[in-house]
Amino acid sequence: MSLTCDVLGIGLNATDTLLLVGEFPPYAGKVAFERELLSPGGQVASAIVACARLGLRTRYIGTIGDDLRGQIQRESLEGTGVDTSGLIVRAGCPNQTAYIIIDERTGERTVLWRRFDCLRLSPSEIRPDYIRSARMLHIDGYDIEAAAYAASIARNAGIPVSLDVDTVYPGFESVLRYVDYLVAGSGWPEKWTGEADPFVALPMLEAEYGFRVSAMTLGDHGALAYADGAWTYSPAFEVACVDTTGAGDVFHGAFCYAMLAGMPMQEALDFSNAAAAMNCTAIGARGHVPARAEVDALLHSASEGKAKRRRNAEIAHRCRAAVLQASVANR
């Protein structure tokens, strides 16, 4: 077995129970569900599956339960070509699970999840040679000590670290100081910095932690990034959305791919948005994780005006203003 891989993922996986409803019930209401499905997911695991679908050599390190849900997760990873030699099975422990209610009118979802303490990953369970033999490390930081340990090894070995985070964890500075590529969930920069304006919060994060890229996803409005003193905005792609579950995870996998491919920031965000949009066209966190050719096809359709994009007018305007201001300052 070769230790070498393009992207190593260390973090969460989950096996979801999807409940499809005709419309989401009101508070304290009751509604019959249309379908029930078991579907593998989880932040880092799904991002690594996306990397594999795009043609990268991938490996995943994480814990799974020894129940049916753990078995479904393993089969999904291995069936996509992900190296699971770093997978750790916890005897007598249920796998992380989520119950996801999907509104069939819009594809939006509500998530209820649980992860048992017996699934916690410790630093001693991570093989340093796996990290040093990767071209990139992707983490979520849920198990903070393990994430900080892995990220510190990567930093010392000159391997870039990508972070997916949407929750404020106490003591998370121990992880952030080793991160190169931050792509946070839409509400996280404000939660961490106290600044509601992303055009203030993202540069603050970059200045404090020295990220190469300080970025955030914007849901159905795309993504925004601050890198090398410049702003980049990429509107979302409009598709026939049936389920938004896993869109952010696929975005992260595609972003890792884009960074390794050396794409300029605008191209990287567009590519990642397109991959995320395609995953929304089927049910489940890995409903339709696209291959490279499919992403390119959507990008080509958009360039010809055949695929629409959903633009946040204010963010687009502020990005243009920032570019103009920088241009004037450099004259």
Question: Which tens digits make up the pLDDT trace of 183-220?
Answer: 999 999 999 999 999 999 999 999 999 999 999 999 88
- At 37, is the pLDDT very low, low, confident or very high (cuts 50, 70, 90)? very high
Query: Residue 33's pLDDT is what?
Result: 94
Spatial separation of the C-alpha atoms in residues 145 and 174, rounded to whole Å: 8
Kindly tell me if the per-residue pLDDT of 1 is higher than 60.
no
Kindly tell me if the per-residue pLDDT of 102 is higher than 80.
yes
Spatial separation of the C-alpha atoms in residues 59 and 121, rounded to whole Å: 16
Give me the mean pLDDT over the 279-286 stretch: 93
Give me the mean pLDDT over the 108-120 stretch: 94
Structural domains of the chain ordered from first start: 5-13+43-86+127-329 (3.40.1190.20)
- At 3, is the pLDDT very low, low, confident or very high (cuts 50, 70, 90)? confident
Give me the mean pLDDT over the 170-189 stretch: 96
Decide: residue 327, CB within 10 A, 0-12 exposed, 13-18 middle, 19+ buried.
exposed
- At 325, is the pLDDT very low, low, confident or very high (cuts 50, 70, 90)? confident
Kindly tell me if the per-residue pLDDT of 133 is higher than 60.
yes
Kindly tell me if the per-residue pLDDT of 110 is higher than 80.
yes
- At 80, is the pLDDT very low, low, confident or very high (cuts 50, 70, 90)? very high
- At 17, is the pLDDT very low, low, confident or very high (cuts 50, 70, 90)? very high
Runs of H (alpha helix) within the chain: 43-53, 68-79, 128-132, 144-156, 173-176, 188-193, 198-209, 247-260, 265-279, 292-303, 313-329
Kindly tell me if the per-residue pLDDT of 281 is higher than 60.
yes
Query: Tokens in use for 96?
Result: 């992380």
Spatial separation of the C-alpha atoms in residues 159 and 153, rounded to whole Å: 8
Query: Residue 328's pLDDT is what?
Result: 64
Predicted model pTM: 0.94
Lowest-confidence segment of 11-15, 102-106, 291-295 by average pLDDT: 102-106
DSSP string, 186-238: TTHHHHHHS---HHHHHHHHHHHH--SEEEEE-GGG-EEEEETTEEEEEPEEP
Query: Tokens in use for 180?
Result: 């190169």
Q: Return the closest-CA partner of residue 164 out of 49, 12, 53, 6.
A: 12
Spatial separation of the C-alpha atoms in residues 14 and 193, rounded to whole Å: 29
DSSP string, 52-88: HHTT--EEEEEEEESSHHHHHHHHHHHHTT-EEEEEE
Give me the mean pLDDT over the 179-186 stretch: 97
Give me the mean pLDDT over the 88-102 stretch: 95
Query: Residue 129's pLDDT is what?
Result: 97
Query: Residue 331's pLDDT is what?
Result: 63
Query: Residue 46's pLDDT is what?
Result: 98
Decide: 88 and 64 in contact? Cβ < 8 Å.
yes
Query: Tokens in use for 61?
Result: 């390190």
Q: What is the mean pLDDT of the chain?
A: 95
Spatial separation of the C-alpha atoms in residues 101 and 306, rounded to whole Å: 32
Spatial separation of the C-alpha atoms in residues 223 and 211, rounded to whole Å: 17
- At 109, is the pLDDT very low, low, confident or very high (cuts 50, 70, 90)? confident
Give me the mean pLDDT over the 280-288 stretch: 93
Residues 6+ apart with CB under 8 A from 63: 87, 88, 89, 90, 93, 119, 120, 121, 125
- At 322, is the pLDDT very low, low, confident or very high (cuts 50, 70, 90)? confident
Q: Is 246 helix (H, G, I), strand (E, B) or coil?
A: coil
